[in-house]
Amino acid sequence: MLFSRISRIPRTAINGRRWFLSLWPEHHPQLRRSENPCFPNGSSFKVLAGSEKSYWGFPALHGFRHKIHHQSSSIVEEQQDPFSLVADELSLLANRLRLMVVAEVPKLASAAEYFFKMGVDGKRFRPTVLLLMATALNVSIPEPYPSGYGDASDELRARQQCIAEITEMIHVASLLHDDVLDDADTRRGIGSLNFVMGNKIAVLAGDFLLSRACVALASLKNTEVVSLLAKVVEHLVTGETMQMSATSEQRCSMEYYMQKTYYKTASLISNSCKAIALLAGQTAEVAMLAYEYGRNLGLAYQLIDDVLDFTGTSASLGKGSLSDIRHGIITAPILFAMEEFPQLRAVVDQGLDNPANVDLALEYLGKSRGIQRARELATKHANLAAAAIHSLPENDNEEVRKSRRALLDLTRRVITRTK
């Protein structure tokens, strides 16, 4: 299982944080040092600024491709489940998320908590990436039970955890809104919130999560990070609008599809990775490598999602298979099939609300290399994500190296997953 734990990693030693042992301060005094790391106690932090470059193309990798370090190739290294490396932090983060969405109105609180309940909250892919990136980029890793309880490394990690929490709240809010727009009735294998509680409550729950994310983001008191994640929310809205309002020509354009995919999926993880680097005081160059990793990993993830919509089952996906094409959404496999069979364009233009046209489109897809070419494009982006990690400055710290190996492993897992 992706979320399996490795028993030999002691809970007290994960990233050296004593307060990871507890869930909430009222019941666990170990956490009283920092009741909510998203709201540091008035501390000020110096962060080096980085410059943002175009997301389209690969500017951050220009000049690096021929000097990749491959720093781990000379020794035999243990493969470790990436999710297990941050399992204890993820558990703490999940509990904090559930507590952060408490509201004065019980129905709103219940709705907002819906996808943070134990057993429903998914594999936490994005927080895992961000916590691993935090360790992969941090100059020093705090030891267990550090002297001086206000250790700067602890404060940095708390702020980076806050980015992971904010990212997950934005992500879940976008899912709630998407399900309303798509009239979905399932999500992650259970009834979608709009199906269970209605569209109005689902929209308000998404808005509430975004407001909580904004409060947590403001608490970081870092204008560049605030700007990055505010831009993400804009991108989510832009991407959804692009999908809803596309012309016939745009729906059949691979460039339009990739730009929309960046806005809807890759912007969140790429800009969050960059925020992790900025909080660590990394250079603009390193921050852009973190961004490129997230961008390409996000694109690869969505391309495989689009493939699985055709090849997976409803049970494995946690939603209906063929969901996109039945909603008239054209994705990479169909776009590639259209290049081989131009007559498929006429079928698409006639409208996919007709089941006969859907069947005909699937017939063309089956005769084409559309699925294979979409997988190949996903692999290309996964390799670019791996190249960004290989291009990071060398570091001899074993925890840093272990996290970088885990980030590389995630690029493989993204393209080989079946759900």
- Residue 140: its pLDDT value, please? 53
- Residue 176: its pLDDT value, please? 87
Does the predicted TM-score (pTM) go above 0.85?
no
Please, what are the domains in the chain? Answer: 84-138+155-416 (1.10.600.10)
- Residue 117: its pLDDT value, please? 63
Q: Which residues pair with 191 in a beta bridge?
A: 186
- Residue 249: its pLDDT value, please? 94
- Residue 122: its pLDDT value, please? 58
In degrees, rounded to 5, the angle at the alpha carbon of residue 39 between the alpha carbons of residues 36 and 43 is 125
Going from the first residue of the chain to its last (419 residues), give the mean pLDDT of each consecutive group of 10, the final group possibly shorter: 33 34 33 45 35 36 37 47 91 84 78 64 83 87 42 86 95 87 73 81 89 94 96 96 93 96 97 97 96 98 95 54 83 97 94 89 95 98 98 94 97 93
- Residue 44: its pLDDT value, please? 35
Residue with tokens 């603009």: 284
- Residue 129: its pLDDT value, please? 97
Backbone φ, ψ for residue 56 (5° rounding) = -95, 130
DSSP secondary structure code for residue 262 in this structure: I
- Distance between CA atoms of 412 and 406, rounded to whole angstroms? 10
Q: Are 276 and 158 in contact (CB under 8 A)?
A: no
Residue with tokens 């698409």: 348
Q: Are 129 and 2 in contact (CB under 8 A)?
A: no
Q: Are 256 and 248 in contact (CB under 8 A)?
A: no
* DSSP codes of every residue in 134-197: HHHH-S--PPSS-SSTT-HHHHHHHHHHHHHHHHHHHHHHHHHHHHHHHT--EETTEE-HHHHH
Q: Which two tokens stand for residue 256?
A: 């339009």
